[in-house]
Structure 1
Amino acid sequence: MTKSVEQDTQVATMLDRRDERVKHAEGIGGSIRAFLDRVRSGDLGSLPVVVGLAIIWTIFQSLNPVFLAPNNLVNLLFDCSTVGVIALGIVCILMVGEIDLSVGSVSGFASALVGVLWVNQGWPVAVAILAALAFGALIGAVYAFLFNRFGMPSFVSTLAGLLSILGLQLYLLGSTGSINLPYESPLVNFGQLLVMPDAVSYILAALPGIVFLVLEYRTAARRRAAGLSSHPLGRLLVRAVILTVILEFIVYYLNLDRGIPWMFGLFVGLVVAMDYALTRTKWGRSMIAVGGNREAARRAGINVRYIYTTAFMLCSALAATGGILSAARLASASQQAGTGDVNLNAIAAAVIGGTSLFGGRGSAYSALLGIIVIQSIASGLTLLDLSSSLRYMITGAVLAIAVIVDSLARRSRVSHGRA
């Protein structure tokens, strides 16, 4: 029996290849056709935001060649990290179909709490940070209790929290209104100066490709063991190599200036950990199920109350983390921290990045892509010396477009039976 005949026999015996009515991608052409079919059926993934980001970068680079210079991109990564971590928490709460409007106030209070405990009260900085994180998690637990016990809509409870926590922040800071953090402290250096050594950044850039290859190979092995078709090892190797080459080039380009900020590395690490939790754990699958259909998830045996509790607590804890990073970035904790457009930017980043407002669909990488879009707009307009009013209008327009695309994609998925 020749090799081609053996392969045809194996394909014929695969459980997911026996139904001739189901289309299966074969080769590069088949993969392209399958991708186009998914797009037409509303399964867009990160495609809209990647296309939008390419358009934004092309426009700003044509207007000001400094925009894509390594120095400006390094500054952009510093600025992405603070609100990006908050947006990651918004992704969690949107995944279950809820919202948290108080993340800005929680982040501001967390920065104030660190300043008061560390600078005014003399606590060790690590203990002050842990106290702020614990406060964030406690606020999330309160929201979850109100939602699970009394059915209070998250919009109302978190709006009340926004006002209450903002009042606590103003009370905590008192008449001074701000607290300057020690400029030479490790926390401030982390937020303003510390970047990865070149060798470390190159090693870390190679890890995603390796992790992708290992996880996909394990998945392929399990599918083969279950009698299902799987991607060949060669295709997985090609995808891993392409991913690694792209990341290594990005790191090389940024290392032409200062390099990758450690604070951005922390943000990306949280994104990767959250993506793993959402896609490869029972908890993550339960989050998606609850966001898709709460009653169906309950009947399937999922502890719905527990899922809501973890989502609210994670959202608030990540908001507190973002507030601490913001204090490190600004070297101060003030009454203005967490106010202004922090709430709007965090929610907009999650939605623009591809997380659905309807629940059940999204990715941790939505926070990363979305905040890069928002900070790119802000950075580009700053370099052009244009009014900040344009930033609000452009960001609002991009957000509106993202919601429209999400709504149309959802309708398409329903009509194609993919919802």
Structure 2
Amino acid sequence: MSVPGPTAGTRLEGSVPGGVLSGSVVQRVRGAHLGMVPIVGALLVIWAVLGVVNPAFLSAENLVNLTLQSVPVGVIALGVVLVLLVGQIDLSVGSVSGLAAALLAVGTVNLGWPVWVAVLAALSVGVVVGLGYGVLSTRLGLPSFVFTLAGLLVLAGVQLVVLGPKGSINLPFESWFVRTVQQGFLPTPLAWVLVAAVVAAYAAVLAVDHVRRVRAGLRGPGTGTGRIAGRTAVLAAVLAAAVAYLGTARGVGYTVVLFVALVAVVDLLLRRTRWGRSVRAVGGDRRSALLAGVAVRRTVVSCFVACSTFAALGGVLAAGRLAAANQGTGAADTYLTAIAAAVIGGTSLFGGRGSAWSALLGVLVIQSIANGLTLLNLDAATRYIATGAVLLLAIVVDMLLRGRREI
């Protein structure tokens, strides 16, 4: 999964220039969003089938549980999306999340640290690991598959050392952190205010985009007030339906809001910033990006750091949800599930194509399958087979789309 490192001594600082490179980046961004349409359709089909087989799946209470279950792995998958976009991979995200959860538990329970100090210590592990990976990739040119696999084993061992001979530490249920993660839900009035704010902000962004396109002479079909009103109405309907239906049970959890906010921020960074254009340029064609003046090394390092930090945050949220950290936290299937979620959500294994929303859609697909099969009293073997089949289908589609672009 790694790409040969840049030539030694080449200056890598700079920005993405205009012209052909920025135009190709725009095309990849548009392609990423269009590529999510089949994923949304597949998710709706999965929900419809599971709802028919077992009506309890579509109950408000079960969907609340589904959203809460999706958050830890979804946050980890968000980081995986970033490393995949630059043509790399991180197999150690599960071990990073497990070590972060262990540090949180040991810090708060055994050492008496304030929760916020323990959370910062856990996140700092992700930053340090990401920096180390970035150096190994950009300075030594090592394949990311190799050094992240080694990191998986090393960090899993460190996690066992941190947990100690007991191998499990329970977090106090009266802790504000555990209460917030497990039982924290938006009050109904605040949820509706948040929906209104998001819809208004989205409409404002579309309006600004329209004005900029008109000024640049890029006005064409599908633009204008009709497009803005239509897309805003769709978003408003989706958010209102979700809040209203989930509100009949416990509502929208704080951690769910955090996850969606992180996805939206990362999506904004990828689409609207020089860094985001650099990420797609490096993943699309590293040599061309280097020749165009992109800060290739810095971009790759930043993606590794973001990936490991998101993995640590996912581990922290997992510990809060279970009110414990043990040897099974961040187990082997964690990194497999996170990578599968990113790929199923539409992120290419070959770099350059994908979206932050891939993490959200992909994890909903995987968790929906797992949740639905659990309700049907089917064993873990069936869940793995079903998830693997969906993953294989996503990879085949990715290969076909990549081959079509190269023709």
Written as runs of structure 1 = structure 2, the 5 A alignment for 1:101-180 is 101-180=91-170
Deviation readout 1:109-145 (Å, 9 max, x if unpaired): 0000011111101111101100110111100000000
Query: How far apart are the structure 1 equivalents of 2:54 and 2:169?
Result: 37
User: Match of 1:48?
Assistant: 38
Retained in 1: the 8 A contact 2:33–2:355?
Answer: no
Unpaired runs of 5+ in structure 1?
A: 1-37
In the other structure, the counterpart of 2:13 is none
Q: 2:360 maps to what in 1?
A: 368
Map of 1:355 onto structure 2? 347
Choose the corresponding residue for 1:79, options 69, 85, 88.
Answer: 69
Provide the residue aligned with 2:16 in structure 1: none
Paired residues of 1:85 and 1:322 also in contact (CA < 8 A): yes
Of the candidates 231, 236, 240, which is equivalent to residue 232 of structure 2?
240
Superposed CA deviations along residues 16-39 of structure 1, whole A, max 9, x for unmatched, are xxxxxxxxxxxxxxxxxxxxxx99
Shift of 1:207: 3.2
The verdict on how the C-alpha distance between 1:205 and 1:271 changes in structure 2, with shifts beyond 3 A counting, is same
CA distance in 1, matches of 2:234, 2:394: 28
Cα distance in 1 for residues equivalent to 2:145 and 2:293: 27
Q: 1:227 offset after TM fit, Å? A: 2.2
* Equivalences for residues 241-390 of structure 1 within 5 A: 241-390=233-382
The residue type paired with residue 188 of structure 1 is V
1:27-78: CA deviations, max 9, x gaps?
xxxxxxxxxxx99xx9841122112112211111111110000000000011
Preserved contact between residue 206 and residue 247 of structure 1 (Cα < 8 Å): no
Tell me the CA shift for residue 340 of structure 1. 3.4
Q: Distance in 1 between matches of 2:130 and 2:365?
A: 28
Using a 3 Å threshold, how does the CA distance of structure 1 residues 294 and 406 change in structure 2: closer, same or farther?
Answer: same
Residue type at the aligned position of 1:414: E
Aligned to 2:84: 94
Answer yes or no: is the 8 Å Cα contact 1:101–1:155 preserved in 2.
yes
Matches of 2:144 and 2:198, distance apart in 1: 35
CA distance in 2, matches of 1:374, 1:409: 22
Structure 1 range deviating more: 69-78 or 197-206? 197-206
1:66 is paired with a residue whose SS is: helix
Partner of 2:171: 181
Contact 1:43–1:413 (Cα < 8 Å) also in 2: no
| Letter of the 1:282 counterpart | R
- Cα RMSD, aligned residues only: 1.4
Query: What SS is found at the alignment partner of 2:280?
Result: helix
**Amino acid aligned to 2:85:** M
User: What letter corresponds to residue 126 of structure 1 in structure 2?
Assistant: W
Residues 209 and 414 of structure 1, relative CA distance in 2, 3 Å threshold: farther
> In structure 1, how many angstroms separate the alpha carbons of the residues matched to 2:33 and 2:308?
30
Does the 8 Å contact 1:206/1:248 carry over to 2? no
Equivalent position SS for 2:169: strand
State the distance in 2 between where 1:97 and 1:364 align.
Answer: 15
* Pairwise CA distance, 1:379: 0.7
Q: Which of the pair has more CA radius of gyration?
A: 1
Give the letter for the 2:297 counterpart. Answer: R
| Cα pair 2:56 2:62 within 8 Å, conserved | yes
Query: In the TM superposition, what whole-angstrom CA distance separates every residue of 1:61-117 from its partner, at most 9, and x where no partner exists?
Result: 111110000000000011000100000000010010100000000000000001111
1:210 shift after superposition: 2.0
* Offset, 1:209: 2.5
Q: Identity of aligned pairs, percent?
A: 51
- The residue aligned with 1:25 is none
Q: TM-score, normalised by structure 2?
A: 0.90
Runs (4 or more) in structure 1 with deviation over 4 Å come to none
Equivalence for 2:53: 63
Moved more, 197-206 or 317-326: 197-206
Q: Secondary structure at the match of 1:228?
A: coil
Q: Which runs of 5+ in 2 are unaligned?
A: 1-29
User: Which whole-Å CA distance do the structure 2 matches of 1:206 and 1:293 have between them?
Assistant: 40
When the two structures are aligned, how many residues end up with a matched partner? 376
Tell me what 2:23 maps to: none
Structure 1 residue corresponding to 2:202, chosen from 168, 192, 212 = 212
2:187 maps to which residue? 197
SS of residue matched to 2:58: coil
In 2, the alpha carbon distance for the partners of 1:192 and 1:223 equals 45
Q: Cα deviation per residue 1:240-278 (whole Å; 9 max; x = unaligned)?
A: 022102210111000011000111111001000000000
Shift of 1:199: 1.2
Which residue matches 2:218? 228
Bigger Cα displacement from structure 2, 177-186 vs 239-248: 239-248
